[in-house]
Structure 1
Amino acid sequence: MPNRSAIASLSLGRAWVHDLPGKLRQAAKYGFEGIEMFYEDIEYFSHSLGVGILDAATRIKHLCNALHLEIVCLQPFLFYEGLVDRIERHRLVSEKLPLWFRLAHILGTDLIQVPSNFLAPDPVTGEPRTTGDMAIIVSDLQEIADLALQQSPPIRLAYESLAWGNHVDTWEKCWEIITLVDRPNFGACLDTFNIAARVYADPTVPTGKNPDADVAIRASITRLVKTVDVRKVFFVQIVDGERLDSPLVEGHPFYVKEQPSRMSWSRNARLFAFEESRGGYLPILDIARAFFDIGFEGWVSMELFSRTLVDPDPRTPEEHARRGMDSYMKLIQKLRLGEIETIRHTL
C-alpha cells in the first residue's frame, strides 16, 4: 500500500450541554490536531459571553491557537440550494453568506461545508419547499461557489449528500452535481455514515439493513473508486451507526413524525468507527478504504452525533474525545495508514 497522508480531526457535535472551551481542551488533550466548527457553537458561545458573533469567533480562534488546534471547516450552511422561495435564497446569498465568509476568515479556515438540502415541506400547506430541478440546484451552487472564489483568500465549499436529503441523498448524486457545477473551489465531503445509511442501512426494519444491502454497497464502493477524482474530495468523515434494538417507527423513542427516519437515527445513534461492542454494524472499513484507494490525503474527521453528547456528566466531552482517538488509531492500524508522511487528526 503506498504512502498516504491522513490528518485526523474531530467534529464536536451540536450539543450545548458542555461548554465549547472545555470540549476544545479535551480534543487537544487526546491529540487531535483539528476540529470542525459548527456555526451554532459560535452563536451559543457568543450568547454565553454577551458578545457579538464576530468577537466570539475571534476568541475561539485565539483559544484554538493556544491549544494548537486547526479549524478545518465552518459548517453547516443549511437549506440553500433548490429553494422554491427565491426571495429566501436571495437573502441567504446577500445576508448570511457574507457573514459566513467573514467568520471563516476569522477562524482561519478556507472551507465551508454545504449539506444537501433537506428542508421539510411547508408545515401549513404541505407543499414542498425545495425543487429537484437539477438546473436550479446547479445554478444555485455555482453562484455561491463563484462568490466564494472571489474572497481573499478564496474559500472552498465542500458539498455533502445527506442520506435523508430531499433530492441529493447518495454520493453519486453529489458527484454529478459537483461535476456540473464545475468550479475549482467546489468539491465533496465524503461521509461513511451517509453513504452506508442510504445504500446499506434501513433503521425502520428489524435487520437494520436494506434487502440487497451487501451487494448494493459493494457495487457502490466499486463505482466510487472508478468515478471520483480525489482532487475534488476536500475532507472525509469516518463514522458508524448503531443497530437499533427495534425498528425506528412510530412508538420508538427516536421517532419524530416530521423527520425522515434516517435523520432521526443519525441524530441519536451514530457511533465512532469500529465500536461494534456498542452496536456498530455499517461497513465502515470498506467505505473508508475506498477513500484512500482513490488517493485521498487530508483531513479525516471523526464525526459524531449521538444522544450521548447531551449527557450532563462533566466527563462526557473527555469520554467522547477518548473514543474518537481510539477510533482513529484503529483506522490507522486497519488500513495501514502508519505508512504515511503526515498524520494529523481532527475532532
Structure 2
Amino acid sequence: MADELGLSAHPTSMSDLPTPPAEPDPRWTPAIATVSLGTAEFHTLPAKIEAAAQNGQRGLELFHDDLAQFAKSLRASSGSQAAARTDRDFEIDAAHAIRELCEQKGLQVLALQPFRQFEGLLNAVEHANRIEELKHWTKLCLILGEDLFILIPSSFLDDSQITGDRDRLVSDLAEAADVVFPVRIAYEALAWGTYINTWEDSWEIVKRANRPNLGICLDTFNIAARIWADPTSPTGRLPAHADSDLTESMHRLVREVDPDRVWMVQLADGERVDPQAPFLRVPGMPELLSWSRNARLFPCEEERGGYLPIRQVTDACLSKLGYTGWVSMEVFSRSTMDAQPSVPNDHAARAARSWRRMLQQLDSGE
C-alpha cells in the first residue's frame, strides 16, 4: 500500500534525513497535526504520514482537508465507478486506507478536526445540517481508530449568525456529545472566537454540558494570543498587565481544570511579525486569525521569531496540571504553503527538535 501511494521507504537527500526522536516520556505522547506538515493542496497525506513517522511522532491529528484531498485522489483513480458514489463514500474509503497507512508506520490517529462553526447557530436548518455532517464524521472516526475524538473549535461567525447565550451553547455541545457517542469531543476556545475565546469559557461549557465523552483541548497559542499578544502592536503584545493576567489565568487553570477531562494539549508559539504585514490586514478576518494562519511556530523556535510566553503556558498545561496523554504540535504557517516536496519532512524535523527542547526545559525547570 505504501509504495502504491507514493511513499518512499528511504530518504532521498541529506535534508530528508529524520531528526532523532526524544527519549520516550511516560507522561506525554508526541503527536503532530497534519496541517503542520504542509497544505493539502501541495503535500499528500502519505508523504505527511511518512515524515511524521520518520521523525519520531506517535500520533496524528488528522485534518479533514487532508482526508478530503486523499478521498479525491481515490475518486480520480476509480474510473467509471466514481459517478455512482458520493464524496462521503470516498471519504469512508479514505479513512480505511489512512488507518492502514498509519498502522504500517506505527502511528495512531488521535483526532479528526476541525469541525468548525457548530455551536450557537441561529438558523435551525444549518444546525440540522451540521448534525448530519457530525454523524458522518463519527463514522469516519470509528474507522480511523479505536479511541479518537472530534475537535470542535469555538465558532467565529458574525454575531448575526450565532448566539452567545450560554444555555444554548451548552445544549448544542451536549447534543453533539450524544450524537457521536462513544466517540469523544474536545471543545477548544479559539482566541478569536465570537463568544467563546478563553480556556475559562470552554471549560465552563464543558462542565455544564456534563457528558462523559466531552472534554476540552488546551492550546498554548490560543491561550497566549488571547490574553497576552497583540501582533498589530509595535511591541507585539498587550500592555504590561498582560503578564499578571496570564499568570493569574494559569493559576486558575491548574486549580480548576480536571486533567482527566483534557483530551489533548496542543503546542505552538507565535512569530513576531511586522505590525503592518499585509496578511494581518485581511478585510473581514479577525487579526488574530490572520496571524494564526500565517505565523505560528513550533515551540522553542526563538531563532525564527517565536516570542510568546509559551514556556509558562506549557508548564501550567502539562507539568503543574498533572496532565498525561497526547501533546500535539499544531502549527499553521505560510511556510506550510510552500509547494516544495521537502516541506513535510522539514516541518516534522522541526517539530521533533522542538519537542526535545521543550522536554528539556520542563525537566530543568527553566
Structure 2 length-normalised TM: 0.85
The alignment's C-alpha RMSD in Å is 1.4
Measured in 1, the distance between the counterparts of 2:93 and 2:213 equals: 27
Partner of 2:189: 161
> 1:174 aligns to what?
202
Partner deviation per Cα, 1:271-292 (whole Å, 9 max, x = no partner)? 0000001110011111111112
Alignment-derived partner of residue 343 in structure 1: none
Distance 1:320 1:205 in 2: 28
| Higher-helix-fraction structure | 2
2:135 is the alignment partner of 1:103: no
Aligned equivalents of 2:98, 2:44: Cα separation in 1: 12
Q: Are the aligned partners of 2:135 and 2:180 in contact in 1 as well (CA < 8 Å)?
A: no
Instruction: Decide which of 239, 252, 258 is 1:223's aligned counterpart.
Output: 252
Q: Which secondary structure state, in structure 1, belongs to the residue aligned with residue 232 of structure 2?
A: coil
Partner SS, residue 178 of structure 1: helix
Residue 269 of structure 1 corresponds to which residue in structure 2?
A: 295
Distance 1:229 1:272 in 2: 26
Counterpart of 2:212 in structure 1 is 184
Shift of 1:12: 1.6
Which residue of 1 is the match for residue 308 of structure 2?
282
Percent identity over the alignment is 45
Partner of 1:15: 39
Shift of 1:4: 5.7
The normalised TM-score by structure 1 is: 0.90
Retained in 1: the 8 A contact 2:279–2:290? no
> Which of 281, 292, 296 is the matching residue for 1:255?
281
Q: Distance in 2 between matches of 1:307 and 1:262?
A: 15
Match of 2:155 in 1: 117
- In the alignment, which residue of structure 1 is the partner of 2:91? 53
- Does the C-alpha gap of structure 1 residues 4 and 33 become closer, same or farther in structure 2, counting only changes over 3 Å? closer
State how many pairs are aligned.
321
Cα deviations across residues 58-95 of structure 1 (Å, max 9, x unaligned)?
111111111111001011111110001111101211x2
- Of 45-54 and 322-331, deviating more is 45-54
SS at the partner of 1:291?
helix
Show the 5 A alignment for 1:179-328.
179-211=207-239, 212-247=241-276, 252-292=278-318, 293-328=320-355
CA distance, structure 2, for counterparts of residue 192 and residue 325 of structure 1: 17
228-237 vs 49-58, greater mean Cα deviation: 49-58
CA contact (8 A) 1:4 1:295 kept: no
SS at match of 2:315: helix
Take 2:273 and 2:261, find their aligned partners in 1: how far apart are those partners?
34
Which residue pairs with 1:135 in the alignment? 167
Deviations 1:10-40 (A, max 9, x none): 1121712111101110100011011100111
Deviation at 1:46, TM superposition (A): 0.8
Task: For residue 247 of structure 1, report the CA deviation from its aligned partner.
Answer: 4.2
SS of the residue aligned with 2:363? coil
**Does the 8 Å CA contact 1:269/1:307 hold for their aligned counterparts?**
yes
Q: 1:340 is matched with which residue? A: none
Which ranges of structure 1 fall in alignment gaps of 5 or more residues?
122-126, 338-347
- Counterparts in 2 of 1:106 and 1:24: CA distance versus 1, 3 Å: same
| Corresponding residue SS for 1:49 | helix
Of the three residues 127, 139, 147, the one matched with 1:89 is 127
Of structures 1 and 2, the one with the larger relative CO (CA 8 A, separation 6+) is 1
Q: Deviations over 1:152-201 (max 9, x none)?
A: xx111000000000100001111111111111111010000000000000
**Paired amino acid for 2:233:** V
The letter of the residue matching 1:28 is: A
Q: Deviations over 1:88-125 (max 9, x none)?
A: 101211x2011101000110042111100112x3xxxx
Say if 1:163 and 1:194, in contact at 8 Å, map to a contact too.
yes
> Which residue identity does 1:101 align to in structure 2?
T
Find out whether 1:329 has 2:356 as its counterpart.
Answer: yes
Q: CA deviation at 1:242?
A: 0.4
Could you say which residue in structure 2 is the equivalent of 1:39?
A: 64
